[in-house]
Amino acid sequence: MGIIKKFLNDFKSSFYLGWKIESNWTDPLLFFIYSLAKPLSSAFILIFMYMIISQGQMNEMLPHLIIGNALHLYTANVLFGMAWTVIDDREFYETLKYIYISPVSMFQFLAGRGFAKYLITTISSFIIIIFGFIFLNVRFTPIASWYIYFPIFLFVGSISLFIIGYFFAGINFLISRQGSFLTQSAAGVFLLLTGAIFPIDTFPGFLGKVGIYIPQTIWIDGMRKILLGDGWNSFFINMSINRMLSMLIIENIIYFIIIFLFFNFSLKIARQRGLIDQRTMG
d(CA 29, CA 17): 20
Pick the binder of another protein from 45, 101, 253, 257 (CB under 8 A).
101
**Interface with another protein, residue 24, by CB under 8 A:** yes
> Minimum distance between the CB of residue 281 and another protein, rounded to whole angstroms?
14
Task: Name the minimum Å distance from CB 82 to another protein.
Answer: 17
Choose the binding region for another protein from 16-24, 44-52, 131-139, 237-245 (rule: CB under 8 A).
Answer: 16-24
Asked if 272 is part of the footprint of another protein (rule: CB under 8 A), the reply reads yes
In terms of CB distance, is 156 or 169 closer to another protein?
A: 169
Q: Is residue 139 close enough to count as binding another protein by CB under 8 A?
A: no
265 touches another protein by CB under 8 A: no
Cβ-based neighbour number of residue 9 at 10 Å: 14
> Of these, 32, 98, 181, 213, which contacts another protein (CB under 8 A)?
98
Shorter beta-carbon distance to another protein: residue 14 or 121: 14
Cβ at position 98, least distance to another protein in Å: 6
Q: Which one, 96 or 248, has the nearer CB to another protein?
A: 96
35 forms part of the interface with another protein (CB under 8 A)? no
Pseudo-torsion of CA 196, 199, 204, 207, nearest 10°? 40
CB of 128 to another protein, least distance (A): 26
Distances from the Cα of 8 to the Cα of 13, 108, 177, angstroms = 9, 9, 31
- Should residue 176 be labelled a site residue for another protein when binding is judged by CB under 8 A? no
The DSSP secondary-structure symbol of 136 reads S
7 CB contacts (<8 Å, ≥6 apart)? 108
The verdict on 178 binding another protein (CB under 8 A) reads: no
- Smallest gap from residue 14 Cβ to another protein (A): 8
Per-position b or e across 59-88, b if 16+ CB within 10 A of its CB: eebbbbbbbbbbbbbbbbbbbbbbbbbbbb
How many Å is the maximal CA-CA distance in the chain?
62
How buried is 8 (Cβ within 10 angstroms: 0-12 exposed, 13-18 middle, 19+ buried)?
Answer: middle
> For residues 72 and 220, is the Cβ–Cβ distance under 8 A?
yes
Which DSSP state fits 142? Answer: P
Least distance (Å) between residue 7 CB and another protein: 11
Report if residue 280 touches another protein, rule: CB under 8 A.
Answer: no
> DSSP character for 237?
T
Residues that bind another protein (CB under 8 A): 1, 6, 9-10, 12-13, 16-17, 20-21, 24-25, 93-95, 97-104, 271-272, 274, 276-277
